[in-house]
Amino acid sequence: MTSIESQTLRTGVCYYPEHWPESRWAEDAAHMRRLGLSVVRIGEFAWSRLESPDGELHLDWLERAIDTLQAAGLSIVLGTPTATPPAWLVNRHAGIYAVDEQGRTRGFGSRRHYCFSYLPYHADCARIVTALAKRFGKHPGIIAWQTDNEYGCHDTILSYSEAAIAGFQQWCRQRYTDIDALNTAWGNVFWSMEYTDFDEIGAPVGAVTETNPAHRMAYWRCASDAVVTFDRVQVDIIRAHSPGRDVLHNFMGNFVEFDHHALSRHLDVATWDNYPLGFLTRDGEDPDEQRRYLRTGTPDSSAFHHDLYRGCCGGRFWVMEQQPGPVNWAPYNPAPLDGMARLWAWEAFAHGAEVLSWFRWRQAPFAQEQMHTGLLLSNGEEDTAASEARQVADEIAKLDASELRLTTNRAQVAILFDYAGDRAQRIQQPDGRTYDPLQHVQQVYRACRELGLDVDIVSSDAELDLYSLVLLPNITIDDPVLAERLSHLDATIVLFPRSASRGVDMAIPDSLPPASLRKLIDVTVIRSETLPPEETLVARGAVASTITAWRERIRSELTPAGRFEDGWGFHYTQGRVHYINAIPDRPSIRVLLKSLCAEAGVAVTPMPEGVRTRRRGGLRFAFNVSDTSHSISDLFEEAAADRIVFGEEQLAPAGVTVWREA
């Protein structure tokens, strides 16, 4: 086995020493090492064992745990326990709880029972984090710190508590300075919603009908900022006491409730928690897809997030929690196909992950997650994923030292992703939810991946110069600086519906959408319509495109590529800039992307259903989540059998094959 120090592809696991007898710790650590694991995350829910009501700290047991793990050769990520303040602590704070949209207090009994805007809790967090950082900050076993756990999990970003409303009033004061400016920016003259003082401002919920979109957008921005502020308190303390260690947080999947780009600015590494089957049965909206991929997850679910989070901290990302078997929390919890634990690990590495860490070491026999599997059964014997973890470690050992080093290849294709843009679309979504703006981005991503493309997902202030194809599926908020930068690119640029359709306070731009992007292409959106779920329209031209959900009527001197039966145009092009004024369905997006790649000079390798490929450094990976085997050399010309590092020439279901590119 490769020595840990030289290895940049590392596997790990999440462990709770406080759940098990101390006598078991050393055996657990040794067992982890036998599976090739070298990273272990601990501590992130342990507050009730770290501090008692009398203020006494109990850190000795944690030091013994750290020492034991380190002694076995494991590197430790220490979590701060702020996601789970104990009962005695919350009982001291009448206002600590979040309040939901219906006015119900979200109380004690599970986790995340605090409102980000409740400032006295920041002091509690600072106290426990300081204690931990001082005690363990320079411990040689500690390589990184995780702040809190899964910010926003269980819908905890938006709160309507008194603290949240007070925080919002203060945020508005700072942003707008005087109340008339706010009234004007929000259009409060409408329905006499004008305030005479910042103190009159409430939360945009609980009104008789829909509240002002400007109000909702501001409330969301404030809530997103509050998460960043909350996190920053801990990061500053850790950096002060624990030099040289990475500070990170574990983000989630299919989750866009706060601006992850903004929070990532003060982190070293973006990590995320990957539960492909949980996401499938919780979030999937296509029953046929759910059925087909029930035991593998959809082909692009993990990859999308790897690419999204790789774009958050300059390329550095980990998977902090990886599903090993059935989970407990989704509507249905099927078992993954044998081999998927291995496939998911290699998929993460292929997309640039430094560490892949399974959740959790051993199934808990009690409490909320007792039906969440681990690498071990609840009785301590190995469950099925343990052997796959061992296999991954053995396969890492087959790589050259140079191949182990992290290489973030720049892709030829960029998707610009904007959290505020996503939010703006949610705020003005058809009631019946014909489409979800995040799913729209994922459909565009998926079409790229089906064409065999590597993709970078970046924020709108990222460097764009070297991309050949730049896709803007959710840049809803007009951004003149971005428009200016795009106008200088030598690339194919693709705008999707609602691009630059709103100002920062949700007003329709005076020049009509796409506002400042109109300098790229001569189109004006004069009407939008939303369509019921089953309604599709066909635009005919050189190719026929089927569209759903959202359609825009364009006024332009340009000749559209197609026309709908009622005369509305579809797909306007000026030079290498394209405006796609409706939501194409999946097959139509794929056809469209293919022609855009041709224009952009990006070579495509169409993949069979369920097969995906990705390059990292000089390696090329192929993954198969279909129910059919495929010959690698049939699919990839360069994939000669003698270049395969591991995996089979016949890529079976749940198979991974890796070869060195010529």
CB of 296 to a second copy, least distance (A): 13
Q: Which residue has the tokens 């070869």?
A: 659
Stretch that binds a second copy, among 186-194, 392-400, 460-468, 488-496 (CB under 8 A): 186-194
Q: CB nearer to a second copy: give 194 or 268.
A: 194
* Beta strands 355-358; 10-14: pairing state: parallel
Q: Which residue has the tokens 């292409």?
A: 521
Measured CA to CA, the distance from residue 355 to residue 348 in angstroms comes to 8
Contacting residue, 130, 378, 574, 633, with a second copy by CB under 8 A: 378
Strand (E) or helix (H) holding 590: helix 586-600
Q: Is position 522 an interface residue for a second copy (rule: CB under 8 A)?
A: no
Q: CB nearer to a second copy: give 198 or 467.
A: 198
x-or-dash pattern for a second copy, window 541-570, by CB under 8 A? ------------x------------x----
Q: Is position 365 an interface residue for a second copy (rule: CB under 8 A)?
A: yes
Contacting residue, 8, 169, 254, 290, with a second copy by CB under 8 A: 290
Q: Is position 612 an interface residue for a second copy (rule: CB under 8 A)?
A: no
- Secondary structure, 3-state, 208-276: CCCCCHHHHHHHHHHHHHHHHHHHHHHHHHHHHHCCCCEEEEEECCCCCCCCHHHHHCCCCEEEEEECH
Task: Map residue 415 onto helix, strand or coil.
Answer: strand
Q: Is position 130 an interface residue for a second copy (rule: CB under 8 A)?
A: no
Q: CB nearer to a second copy: give 189 or 641.
A: 189
Contacting residue, 30, 119, 193, 489, with a second copy by CB under 8 A: 193
Q: Is position 99 an interface residue for a second copy (rule: CB under 8 A)?
A: no
Q: CB nearer to a second copy: give 207 or 603.
A: 207
Q: Is position 102 an interface residue for a second copy (rule: CB under 8 A)?
A: yes
Handedness of CA 453, 455, 460, 464 (dihedral sign): negative
Q: Is position 294 an interface residue for a second copy (rule: CB under 8 A)?
A: yes
Q: CB nearer to a second copy: give 270 or 506.
A: 506
For residues 300 and 586, the answer to whether their CB atoms sit within 8 Å is no
Residue 367 CB: number of other CB atoms within 10 A?
8
For residues 546 and 538, the answer to whether their CB atoms sit within 8 Å is yes
Q: Is position 432 an interface residue for a second copy (rule: CB under 8 A)?
A: yes
Measured CA to CA, the distance from residue 397 to residue 38 in angstroms comes to 13
Q: Is position 287 an interface residue for a second copy (rule: CB under 8 A)?
A: yes
Residue 111: Cβ-neighbour burial (10 angstroms; 0-12, 13-18, 19+): middle
**147-166: contacts with a second copy (CB under 8 A):** 153-154, 156
Q: Is position 384 an interface residue for a second copy (rule: CB under 8 A)?
A: yes
DSSP, res 578: E
Q: CB nearer to a second copy: give 22 or 394.
A: 22
Q: CB nearer to a second copy: give 5 or 510.
A: 510
Q: CB nearer to a second copy: give 174 or 366.
A: 366
Contacting residue, 13, 35, 337, 500, with a second copy by CB under 8 A: 337
CB of 561 to a second copy, least distance (A): 21
Contacting residue, 9, 32, 46, 515, with a second copy by CB under 8 A: 46
Q: Is position 94 an interface residue for a second copy (rule: CB under 8 A)?
A: no
Q: Is position 377 an interface residue for a second copy (rule: CB under 8 A)?
A: yes
Closest by CA to 155, choosing from 25, 252, 11, is: 252
Contacting residue, 4, 26, 71, 87, with a second copy by CB under 8 A: 87
For residues 418 and 475, the answer to whether their CB atoms sit within 8 Å is yes
**213-242: contacts with a second copy (CB under 8 A):** 213-215
Contacting residue, 25, 47, 361, 496, with a second copy by CB under 8 A: 47
- CA distances (Å), origin 408, targets 111, 181, 192, 296, 411: 36, 45, 53, 26, 9
Task: Map residue 574 onto helix, strand or coil.
Answer: strand
**567-596: contacts with a second copy (CB under 8 A):** none
Contacting residue, 61, 195, 636, 646, with a second copy by CB under 8 A: 195
Q: Annotate 323-367 with DSSP letters as a single string.
A: --S--SSSSS-PPPPTTHHHHHHHHHHHTT-SEEEES-SB--SSS
Contacting residue, 33, 111, 563, 615, with a second copy by CB under 8 A: 111
Cis bond leading into 92, ω under 30°? no
Contacting residue, 62, 182, 330, 656, with a second copy by CB under 8 A: 330
**451-490: contacts with a second copy (CB under 8 A):** none
Q: CB nearer to a second copy: give 150 or 347.
A: 150
**483-512: contacts with a second copy (CB under 8 A):** 505-512
Contacting residue, 68, 84, 476, 581, with a second copy by CB under 8 A: 84
CB of 493 to a second copy, least distance (A): 25
Rg, Å, the chain Cα set: 25
Strand (E) or helix (H) holding 288: helix 287-292
Contacting residue, 92, 314, 332, 398, with a second copy by CB under 8 A: 332
- CA distances (Å), origin 558, targets 146, 211, 457, 521, 568: 52, 38, 30, 9, 13
Q: Is position 56 an interface residue for a second copy (rule: CB under 8 A)?
A: no
x-or-dash pattern for a second copy, window 392-411, by CB under 8 A? --------------------
Q: Is position 30 an interface residue for a second copy (rule: CB under 8 A)?
A: no
Residue 349 CB: number of other CB atoms within 10 A?
29
For residue 414, the cross-strand partners are 456, 470
Q: Is position 189 an interface residue for a second copy (rule: CB under 8 A)?
A: yes
- Quote the tokens at residue 393: 């470690």
Q: Is position 174 an interface residue for a second copy (rule: CB under 8 A)?
A: no
CB of 526 to a second copy, least distance (A): 6
Contacting residue, 27, 63, 180, 200, with a second copy by CB under 8 A: 200
Which residues participate in catalysis according to the annotation?
150, 321
Q: Is 517 left (phi over 0), alpha (psi -120 to 50) or beta?
A: alpha
Q: Is position 334 an interface residue for a second copy (rule: CB under 8 A)?
A: yes
Stretch that binds a second copy, among 22-30, 430-438, 449-457, 586-594 (CB under 8 A): 430-438
Q: Please state the φ and ψ torsions of residue 579, each to the nearest 5 degrees.
A: -115, 115
* Beta strands 39-42; 75-79: pairing state: parallel
Measured CA to CA, the distance from residue 545 to residue 550 in angstroms comes to 14
Handedness of CA 135, 136, 140, 141 (dihedral sign): positive
**239-278: contacts with a second copy (CB under 8 A):** none
